[in-house]
Every structure is written in structure tokens, then in C-alpha cells.
Amino acid sequence: MELDFRFLLTLGTALVSVVGAAAIVKQKVLTLTSHLEDIEQRIRNQAHSIDKLNTAAEMQRHRTDILASMSSPDKLKQEHYEVATLIAKVQEHEKELNKLTSKS
């Protein structure tokens, strides 16, 4: 089989085309890899921000639950009852103290 100039030129052109295409593909892959890494970093940052916001929201919900339980009608009723009982006992003790001091 004889290789003539035309065949070698066609083969060389095809080889150059393939090498050029491979170089372009390699560059595109590097560019896409760089973009992908940037996107991954942004997603990680967003996830971190979301975690912070979730933590803050959970803390606020917990604080709200505490405040709600502190000012619930049943709890306030119980506290008022206890305060009234203590006031009544103090008044009784004052009367007893006055009786004891007046006898002396």
C-alpha cells in the first residue's frame, strides 16, 4: 500500500483536528469544573446560612414557648391564688403578733 502525499495530508489534518478538539474539550472541562466548584461553595455557604437561621428560629420558638407557659391563664391563676394565700397568712400572723405584744 502506497502512501501518497494527499493521503498523508488528509491524515495529518484529521489528527490536528482531533488534537485541537481534545484541547478545546479539556479547556471546557476545566472551566466547567471551576464553575462547579464555585457553585458547590455557594451551596455550602447557603446551607450554613440556613442552619444559622434555623438555629435562631428554634431559639426564638423556645423562648416564645417559655414566655407563653409563664403567662398562661392557669399558671397566673395559680400564682395569684398563692399570693392571696400568703397575704392572708401574713395578716393572720400580724394579728397574732399584735395580740402577743398587747398582752405584754
44, 79: one domain: no
Domain count, the chain: 2
State the residue for C-alpha cell 495529518: 12
The residue range of the domain holding 20 is 1-71
Q: Judge contact between 40 and 34, C-beta under 8 A.
A: no
Report the alpha-carbon distance of residue 89 to residue 96 in Å, rounded. Answer: 11
Per-residue pLDDT, 76? 85
Which grid cell is 89? 397568712
* pTM score, whole prediction: 0.53
Which grid cell is 19? 488534537
40, 84: one domain: no
Mean pLDDT of 14-34: 95
The tens digit of pLDDT for each residue in 27-45 reads: 999 999 999 999 999 999 9
2, 37: one domain: yes
The tens digit of pLDDT for each residue in 52-88 reads: 999 999 999 999 999 888 888 888 888 899 999 999 9
47, 82: one domain: no
27, 62: one domain: yes
What backbone torsions phi and psi does residue 101 show, to the nearest 5 degrees? -75, -30
Which grid cell is 35? 464553575
